Amino acid sequence: MVPSDEELCRQVAEHNAAAFETLLDRHQARAFRIACSILGSEADARDVSQDAFIRVYESAGKFDGRSRFSTWFYRIVVNLCIDHKRRNKWWRKMVPFSTPDDDPETPPVDPPSLEPGPEADAIRSDSARRLRSALDGLSPTQRAAVLLQTEEDLTSREIAEILECSESTARVHIHRALAHLKKTMREDR
Amino acid sequence: MREKHPQTEIAPYLRGDLSAAERDRLASHLARCDRCRADADAYAAVLKTIAADAARIPAPDWRAYRAELHRKLAARRNLVPGVPSRSWNQRLRWASIGTAVAAAAVLLFLTILPHSQPGAPSVDQMAMEDAMGGADIGLLRNYPVVEHLDLLENYDVIEHLDEVAPTDTSDENPS
Ligand SMILES: [Zn+2]
């Protein structure tokens, strides 16, 4: 019988390495994709999604089983992404005279895509460019909400669970995000 | 009688994420409201663009991804000599600096503006949560001076002041 995510998480809490690998198999692609959507950088997405798995590895015992494992885990991913975006703003504003040499692991601007090629060309396309630019104007929570809905096909209720807010609040986040994107993408034409 | 534009239900409607009753109510509103119908068309276009963009996210080299993750885990367990858990320490360090700066800003603000204006408009709670994250706002709810603290707690707020301003009053207009 295939163990559930929740059972695997319980086993990870008991230091079962194989269970951790299985959770990685099941969730690494989605964790990376969500992080990449929210952060807009593959390098940052790799780092942040790995941090999320590290949290699981070290804190699996804190999973109380009241929600599904996936909700708990993607809440960790999204919160780390939101923290990451906020931390980068702190970085830019509080240490304006630093150089990349100060911290080679945390460049002050997003590094270029690691894998130039067809994807990079596509991202340069006009609608994608306008979208990226418009997404940058959203708050991290709005951005997470609209991308979780569109890219991960989550319902407002699931998004609310991940963002730890009410369903109506999640809908307001999504509405505000879409209204902003609509306005900005139209103006940018 | 004034009818509120059910704008927050448009996206769930487009994605089939409404109950049957909600769906019928929205469909009937859209049939007679040009404004919401225009929004629905525009939102559908935006959602389509986002979905197309998501399909372009390339998958990383998973073998390298897992190897890197295991190196990080090993470093944190100090099982690999010569691999310091630098990234983690840096984050802790930045968290400490962030907390210290926020505390300093709060003290400065309280010194400069010790008394609140009784009639001053309160800050839009949700815009604050957008900008600050749920954890921070939960903490700040415990304090009566939250209306002043929140503007200093995180500079992100400054970039979202337009969201803090009163929202579109035309929501209340009849359709
Ligand atoms: Zn309407």
Mean pLDDT value across chain A: 83
Q: Report the C-alpha gap between B86 and B166 in whole angstroms.
A: 44
Q: How far is the CA of B8 from the centre of ligand 1 (A)?
A: 11
How many CB atoms sit inside 10 A of residue B55's CB?
8
Q: Report the C-alpha gap between A109 and A137 in whole angstroms.
A: 16
Residue of A nearest to B153 (CA): A90
* Contact yes or no for B51 and A94 at CB 8 A: no
- Fold category of A5-187 in CATH: Butyryl-CoA Dehydrogenase, subunit A; domain 3 (1.20.140)
* Contact yes or no for A119 and B56 at CB 8 A: yes
* Contact yes or no for A150 and B51 at CB 8 A: yes
Angle between helix B125-132 and helix A167-187 axes, rounded to 10 deg: 80
Q: Rounded to a whole number, what is the distance in Å from the CA of B118 to chain A's nearest CA?
A: 28
Closest CA to A46 of A27, A33, A59, A60: A33
Q: Give kind and range of the element (H or E) at residue B34.
A: helix B34-54
Length of chain B in residues, anyone? 175
The segments of chain B whose pLDDT lies below 70 read 1-2, 79-104, 106-175
* Domain assignments of chain A as residue spans, ordered by start: 5-187
Show Cβ contacts of residue A82 under 8 Å, excluding neighbours closer than 6 positions. A38, A140, A141, A144, B133
pLDDT of the residue at A125: 64
Show Cβ contacts of residue A89 under 8 Å, excluding neighbours closer than 6 positions. B154, B155, B156
Radius of gyration, alpha carbons of chain A? 18
The segments of chain A whose pLDDT lies below 70 read 89-125, 188-189
Name residue B64's amino acid. A
Show Cβ contacts of residue B101 under 8 Å, excluding neighbours closer than 6 positions. A90, A94
pLDDT of the residue at A89: 63
Q: Rounded to a whole number, what is the distance in Å from the CA of A171 to chain B's nearest CA?
A: 5
Q: Report the C-alpha gap between A25 and A164 in whole angstroms.
A: 26
pLDDT of the residue at A122: 44
* Contact yes or no for A185 and B129 at CB 8 A: no
Q: pLDDT digit string (tens) for B95-145? A: 456 556 666 676 666 555 544 444 333 345 555 544 444 444 444 344 333
ipTM of the complex: 0.76
pLDDT of the residue at B111: 59
Name residue A148's amino acid. L
